[in-house]
Amino acid sequence: MIYLRFLHGLFIASLLLYAHPAAARDDSGRLSETHWQYTYTLQLETNSLVQQAGDQWQHFLYFRFDSVCRQQLNGKVTESDWWLDSQELHFAFRQQSLFALSRLNDFSLELTYMSKDGKSTYVHHFTRIQRENSPLGQASNTLPVVLVQTIPLPQADPEMTTQAITLPAPGTEPASVELVGGGYYGGINPVLQDFITISGEGRLIHQFESMQGKRLTQKADIPKEELDRFIEWATKEQRFMEMESSYDCKTPECEKRKTVKPTPVPLRLSITSGEVRKMVTVSIWGLDKNGRRYVSYPPELDRIIDAVQRLASRNTAMK
């Protein structure tokens, strides 16, 4: 009888341990010991940039193996606990403590949250960087720690949002490409996810997911010589690095179109060449079903996007 009671108590204790948040951290290996640099914040309902990284705003994250997240904002270091519960990330970041992990891969991290009134949805976007490119990569005792759990979200600076983003290239890779979004959200089978990434080694990953369909993934290898030619063509002949960082509405009619269904999905194209990363965001990309263009941007941008899409669709089928 005593032995049975002992087994029963052990079983109950194991259930309680499993129910504790720490037990839900099995998937934390995807984030453990990774470094990230903040790039921008997007408000989904208005398809507008709330803030964008620049010389005056540098924010770095380091998710340590011991469930401590170190952050550096313009030289000021803070710490908070972190853990990953399924697709929810718990950690203190700009007066928020819970985020939906809407995207996580070898290149980028996207954290989504709702405003307190439930009327607005925001997405924080981060780019992965190597330890040696992060100010948090050095020994932890060499940086002063300020025990502050939250960082207020400042108002968007119009001058800051027009600056080009210059970030350290991921690792030692000489070039990379990332294409996310574009088009319209709505219809019978809305698109939930559509992005293309090409690493410096030529590894292409294309993921597509709709409301009624399963997630489809395509993987292919682009020859390095061909990728280098594409980067040179896009950055020099098409002058991608000289484009503005954001193309948005300039008329009331365009602003109104952002709120009409099907909802426009902002397009973001990022190209890294050497130590320079340039990201261009278009709030309403392309033409609508009536053939109307709402946002004006260089035609060279369409050529680059078309080239990336052709690279992704010419090889193996998605499955």
pLDDT reported for residue 47:
65
Q: Residue 46: left if φ>0, alpha if ψ -120 to 50, beta else—which one?
A: alpha
Decide which of 1.10.3470, 3.30.43, 3.30.1560, 3.30.420 is the CATH code for 164-319: 3.30.1560
What pLDDT, on a 0 to 100 scale, did the predictor assign at position 138? Answer: 62
State residue 174's pLDDT score.
60
**Whose structure tokens read 């309403």?**
284
Q: What is the domain partition of the chain in residue ranges?
A: 25-157, 164-319
End-to-end CA distance of the chain: 56
Output the pLDDT for position 172: 44
CA-to-CA distance for 109 and 101, rounded, in angstroms? Answer: 8
| Residues 42, 142: Cα–Cα separation, whole Å | 34
Measure the CA dihedral 153/159/163/168, to 10°.
-40
User: In the 3-class helix/strand/coil scheme, how is the chain assigned residue by residue?
Assistant: CHHHHHHHHHHHHHHHHHHCHHHHHHHHHHCCCEEEEEEEEEECCCCEEEEECECCECEEEEECCCCEEEEEECCEEEEEEEEEECCEEEEEECCEEEEEEEEECCCEEEEEEECCCCCCEEEEEEEEECHHHCCCCCCHHHCCCCCCCCCCCCCCCCCHHHCCCCCCCCCCCCEEEEEEECCEECCCCCEEEEEEEECCCCEEEEEEEECCCCCEEEEEECCHHHHHHHHHHHHHHCCHHHCCCEECCCCHHHHHHCCCCCEECCEEEEEEECCEEEEEEECCCCECCCCCECCCCCHHHHHHHHHHHHHHHCCCCCC
pLDDT means per 10 residues, the chain with 319 residues, are 44 38 48 88 78 82 88 90 86 90 85 89 89 75 39 46 43 72 75 83 86 80 90 94 91 86 86 88 86 92 92 67
Contact between 254 and 294 (Cβ < 8 Å): yes
The dotted CATH code for 25-157 is 2.40.128.280
